[in-house]
Structure 1
Amino acid sequence: MKLLAIMACLWVTPAFAISVVFLNYGKQEEAHWHSASRAMQAAAHDLKVRLEVVYAERKQQRMLEAARALAARPVARRPDYVIFSNDFALGAELLPILDGAGIKTFMAFSGRGDDQDIGLPRQRYRHWLGSLDPDAEQAGYMTAMALIEQARRNAPQRKLHQLLAIGGDPLTPSSVRRSAGMRRAVKESADVTMVAEVYAAWDQQRARLQAEWLFQRFPEPEMVWAGNDLMAFGAMQTWAACCSQRGTTPLFSGINSSDQALQALSDGKLAALAGGHFMTGAMALVMLYDHAKGKDFADLGLEQTLPVFILFDPVTARRFMQRFKGADFSSIDFRRYSRVLNPALKQYAFSFRPLLQ
């Protein structure tokens, strides 16, 4: 099957602690999902985990096909664990396939939606162990507040500041929470109003089209909040093509830690940027390593949130690009985050900030 041809077994060594498959919803060339896989590879190397990565290329059917292919493997060749992101609430279709095959599963990056009828981990689907989410609401809040504060500095005399919002999609839980964080920032700011909110499915070209409509209807926006970097770039391209002659350029924000986004922040083209959440998969791998070694994470909660996001500034953006050039995370010792290997640890925690000092 063509899909199986893109499966890659990485970091081959004579003995492995466990085998894990990461069903990566994104595209292989996307900076965020590429970094997520690279960080997981680095963690797998440190922990001696056999890791396979399957890219679904943002196609829901490919995710389902990959799950069916894993379930159809002979028992001896099935992975010990499967990690996947609940993008577009696909967990409701993936869990029956994998759980029915007796494969232990774990949601990372985007866990169960608040309104998703799949029950709780280890209940209806007993092999679904739990989830680890980056604090997506905090990312939306931080970037929106950074935009608002800069808008106030730029126009202190203005009584009401306008914000346009371009979200990812209304189904993926992490997308919903990013947008919720943005709305919370607007609600807390009496001098700010969100005049329009659209969705662009995380896609740069679609964001260009959405922004064209937005800028026609709202010709002089002060702020454009975007749920990821690609959508921010799409809106920026539209403004440069159609609207730069109007006068003041709006402030743009994004979420992700791609080199392009970090450079845009450093150059002043992005006013606000949060990132670091690509590390969620690597931390999920640490948790599953501990689980396999007899240290269950259930004592900390089956659905956990990781405060992994940081709000970059130009200095930390440049340091990040220098320290992790080429998405090389081999300098991080992921063994230090394991509760099995470090019994004094009480919880799982990861932050880039100490690494960027």
Structure 2
Amino acid sequence: MLYRFVLMLLAGLLAWPAQAVSVAFINPGRSQEIYWEAASGAMFQASKSLGLQLEIQYAERDHLRALDLVRALVARPAAQRPQYLLLSNDYGTAPEMLRLVEGSGMQVLMVFSGIHGADQRLVGPPRDKYPFWLGSLEPDAEDAGYLTAKALIEKGRQAGLTGSDGLLHVLALGGDRSTPSSAARNSGLHRALAEAPDVVLDQMVYVNWRLDTAAEKTRWLIRRHPEARLIWAGSDQIAFGAMKAWRERGGEPGRDAVFSGINTSTQAMQSIQSGELSVLAGGHFMTGAWGLVMVYDHAHGRDFRDEGLTLVRPMFTLFNPERARRFLQRFGGHELPLDFRQYSKVLNPRVKRYQFDVSVLLR
């Protein structure tokens, strides 16, 4: 009788649904910010696809609020804390966040922005001083700057937008001087310029990621450098500011000058389709969703250690009008009809290396 009871008990336990792996993400952006809204939307779709329990809290671009949100998670009763915590090192908050999380039982994955430079020397590598810090996943921002600059130069050549000296003249508007993603995008731009002997960079300025500042600085840039017809921008909003200034002087973006941008806003996709924006790269908003794939696999016994603990991946793709149309079809609504299970190593044993590429989802 006892043997039969044990068998029944085991059968009941096996039939009981496993509790979903719980994950929290401290989103460093604003809740009404297009890029970070898209990032959260992709993460919710990934969590739904993978059966994860996800909560997202916004820091609203306030680094002190981000730290308070981490403190609040740590202060919860142990049973109510998420098993995994996704963080971004915006404003250099990660070292303090790791200190706060220590001893809480939560495991941490850095996404979007990892730990570099002096901060890295302070905290050491993942799984060392802080064993619960599993690693990081970042988009290759340098790749974004390089891809857009290369494509912009080619567009300029095709359109014959050379100056009186036979060279293509470029104006560059960077996001800022200090953040790692901005510096990396700028580095990609300069790599592409170094490969193009028929191109000269007339001037580069920084606009703090603001559309209005980009418009203001472009107004005097095009007066100072009247032969410039190629305008490289560190984001789509910067590009829109530059295009606004160009129209004010009677120009036609996409016809008498070519513009590039980075990001995947609806406005950017529509501008690529209309031809006003000539070059656009994006896809890095999926970083958090890809991070959830790694979390799912780690929670189910498949560690990503064999690929490295600090992963920097080329997540950017160039958009043409057709690819922009497909992107808006897939990502234009509130529900993203996407299946992230195909990227999991646990669910697909043949997958040996993560293929985090947004273009795959557009096929």
User: Smaller-chain TM-score range?
Assistant: 0.7 to 0.9
Given that 1:88 and 1:171 are in contact with CA atoms closer than 8 Å, whether structure 2 keeps it comes out as no
**Counterpart of 1:45?**
48
Task: Output the CA distance in 2 between the equivalents of 1:71 and 1:249.
Answer: 56
State whether structure 2 residue 58 is matched by structure 1 residue 55. Answer: yes
Task: Output the CA distance in 2 between the equivalents of 1:314 and 1:46.
Answer: 28
Percent identical residues: 48
Highest CA radius of gyration, 1 or 2?
A: 2
Q: Given the alignment, which residue of 241, 244, 262 partners 1:237? A: 244
* Counterpart code for 2:149: A
Kindly provide the CA deviation profile for residues 265-289 of structure 1, in whole angstroms up to 9, marking residues without a partner as x. Answer: 1101111001111111111001011
Given that 2:20 and 2:51 are in contact with CA atoms closer than 8 Å, whether structure 1 keeps it comes out as yes
Given that 2:46 and 2:293 are in contact with CA atoms closer than 8 Å, whether structure 1 keeps it comes out as yes
| Between 218-227 and 142-151, the greater mean CA deviation after superposition | 218-227
* Counterpart code for 2:64: Q
**Counterpart of 2:8?**
none
**Counterpart of 1:145?**
150
How many angstroms does 1:253 deviate by?
Answer: 0.8
Equivalent residue runs for 1:203-214 within 5 Å: 203-214=210-221
Change in Cα spacing, 1:253 to 1:245, as seen in structure 2 (3 Å) is closer
Kindly provide the CA deviation profile for residues 150-181 of structure 1, in whole angstroms up to 9, marking residues without a partner as x. Answer: 11222265432222222223333222222211
Task: Output the CA distance in 1 between the equivalents of 2:125 and 2:226.
Answer: 46
Given that 1:89 and 1:113 are in contact with CA atoms closer than 8 Å, whether structure 2 keeps it comes out as no
State whether structure 2 residue 25 is matched by structure 1 residue 25. Answer: no
**Counterpart of 2:332?**
325
Task: Output the CA distance in 1 between the equivalents of 2:91 and 2:203.
Answer: 22
Task: Output the CA distance in 2 between the equivalents of 1:333 and 1:148.
Answer: 36
**Counterpart of 1:98?**
101
Given that 2:174 and 2:204 are in contact with CA atoms closer than 8 Å, whether structure 1 keeps it comes out as yes
Change in Cα spacing, 1:300 to 1:149, as seen in structure 2 (3 Å) is same
How many angstroms does 1:28 deviate by?
Answer: 2.0
Q: Given the alignment, which residue of 70, 75, 78 partners 1:75? A: 78
* Counterpart code for 1:70: L
| Between 99-108 and 120-129, the greater mean CA deviation after superposition | 99-108
Change in Cα spacing, 1:348 to 1:127, as seen in structure 2 (3 Å) is same
Task: Output the CA distance in 1 between the equivalents of 2:67 and 2:240.
Answer: 30
Supply the RMSD in Å over aligned alpha carbons: 2.3
State whether structure 2 residue 225 is matched by structure 1 residue 218. Answer: yes
SS at match of 2:137: strand
Given that 1:16 and 1:48 are in contact with CA atoms closer than 8 Å, whether structure 2 keeps it comes out as no
Q: Given the alignment, which residue of 106, 128, 131 partners 1:126? A: 131
* Counterpart code for 2:350: A
Given that 1:15 and 1:48 are in contact with CA atoms closer than 8 Å, whether structure 2 keeps it comes out as no
Change in Cα spacing, 1:72 to 1:218, as seen in structure 2 (3 Å) is farther
How many angstroms does 1:135 deviate by?
Answer: 2.1
How many angstroms does 1:54 deviate by?
Answer: 1.3
Q: Given the alignment, which residue of 256, 262, 272 partners 1:255? A: 262
Equivalent residue runs for 1:158-307 within 5 Å: 158=163, 159-241=166-248, 243-244=249-250, 249-307=256-314
Unaligned segments of structure 1, at least 5 residues: 1-13
Task: Output the CA distance in 2 between the equivalents of 1:16 and 1:47.
Answer: 13
Given that 2:231 and 2:258 are in contact with CA atoms closer than 8 Å, whether structure 1 keeps it comes out as yes
Kindly provide the CA deviation profile for residues 218-265 of structure 1, in whole angstroms up to 9, marking residues without a partner as x. Answer: 344212211211111122223333x23699743211111111100001
Task: Output the CA distance in 2 between the equivalents of 1:75 and 1:281.
Answer: 24
Task: Output the CA distance in 2 between the equivalents of 1:96 and 1:179.
Answer: 32
Given that 1:36 and 1:281 are in contact with CA atoms closer than 8 Å, whether structure 2 keeps it comes out as yes
State whether structure 2 residue 116 is matched by structure 1 residue 109. Answer: no
Given that 2:83 and 2:105 are in contact with CA atoms closer than 8 Å, whether structure 1 keeps it comes out as no
| Between 314-323 and 270-279, the greater mean CA deviation after superposition | 314-323
Task: Output the CA distance in 1 between the equivalents of 2:83 and 2:316.
Answer: 29
**Counterpart of 1:154?**
159
State whether structure 2 residue 352 is matched by structure 1 residue 346. Answer: yes
Task: Output the CA distance in 2 between the equivalents of 1:208 and 1:70.
Answer: 41
Change in Cα spacing, 1:64 to 1:193, as seen in structure 2 (3 Å) is farther
How many angstroms does 1:51 deviate by?
Answer: 0.8
How many angstroms does 1:100 deviate by?
Answer: 5.4
State whether structure 2 residue 317 is matched by structure 1 residue 310. Answer: yes
Change in Cα spacing, 1:206 to 1:64, as seen in structure 2 (3 Å) is farther
| Between 244-253 and 168-177, the greater mean CA deviation after superposition | 244-253
Task: Output the CA distance in 2 between the equivalents of 1:245 and 1:356.
Answer: 33
Given that 1:71 and 1:101 are in contact with CA atoms closer than 8 Å, whether structure 2 keeps it comes out as yes
Change in Cα spacing, 1:218 to 1:124, as seen in structure 2 (3 Å) is farther
Change in Cα spacing, 1:124 to 1:210, as seen in structure 2 (3 Å) is farther
Give the structure-1-normalised TM-score: 0.88
| Between 136-145 and 171-180, the greater mean CA deviation after superposition | 171-180
Change in Cα spacing, 1:84 to 1:194, as seen in structure 2 (3 Å) is farther
Task: Output the CA distance in 1 between the equivalents of 2:267 and 2:78.
Answer: 43
Change in Cα spacing, 1:89 to 1:176, as seen in structure 2 (3 Å) is farther
